[in-house]
Amino acid sequence: MNEDVLKRVQQNPKFAELVHKKTTFGWTLSIVMLAIYYGFILILAFAPKSLGASLSGGVTTLGMPVGVLIILSAFVLTGIYVRRANTEFDQLNQEIVEESK
């Protein structure tokens, strides 16, 4: 990348916007995922019995839907990110690339 292109990109307000949006969104979702997972780990470590409670009077415990929901949340969160990144962010990115030429 030559110096001119680098300067033009850095000075483009859209670049600052892209960096801000992408970084905020990426970190927010990461923190959500980490909070879900480590929240689960902490429950396991300190209150494992709470997951052993019966869900609705039968043998199925609360832990079962919780586990499946964590798996689903991972998939849904990636979906949310990809959807926004592949449309909004990529659009913005395309404009920055065009304007840098």
Partner 1 sequence: MNRWLKYAGYAALALAPVAAFAAGDALQGEVKKAPLNISAIVMFFAFVAFTLGITYWAARRTRSASDFYTAGGGITGFQNGLAIAGDYMSAASFLGISAMVFEKGYDGLIYSIGFLVGWPVILFLVAERLRNLGKFTFADVASYRLNQTHVRILAATGTLVVVALYLIAQMVGAGKLIQLLFGMNYASAVVLVGVLMVLYVMFGGMLATTWVQIIKAVILLSGASFMAFMVLASVGFSPEAMFSKAVEVHDKHAAIMEPGQLVSNPIDAVSLGLALMFGTAGLPHILMRFFTVSNAKEARKSVFFATGFIGYFYILTFIIGFGAIFLVGTNPEFKDAAGKLIGGNNMAAVHLAKAVGGNLFLGFISAVAFATILAVVAGLALSGASAVSHDLYASVIKKGKADEAAEMRVSKITTLVLGVIAIVLGIIFEKQNIAFMVGLAFSIAASANFPVLFLSMFWKGLTTRGAVVGGFVGLFSAVLLIVLGPAVWVDVMGNAKGSAPFAYKNPALFSMTLAFVTTWLVSVMDNSKQAQEERKLFDAQFVRAMTGIGAAGASKH
Q: Which residues bind partner 1 (CB under 8 A)?
A: 1, 5-6, 9-10, 15, 18-19, 22, 25-27, 29-30, 33-34, 36-38, 40-42, 44-46, 48-49, 51-52, 58-61, 63-64, 67-68, 70-72, 74-75, 77-79, 81-82, 85-86, 90, 93, 96-97, 100
Strands (E), the chain: none
CB 46 within 8 A of CB 52: no
In whole angstroms, the minimum distance from the beta carbon of 72 to partner 1 comes to 7
DSSP state of 62: T
44 CB-near residues (< 8 Å, 6+ apart): 51
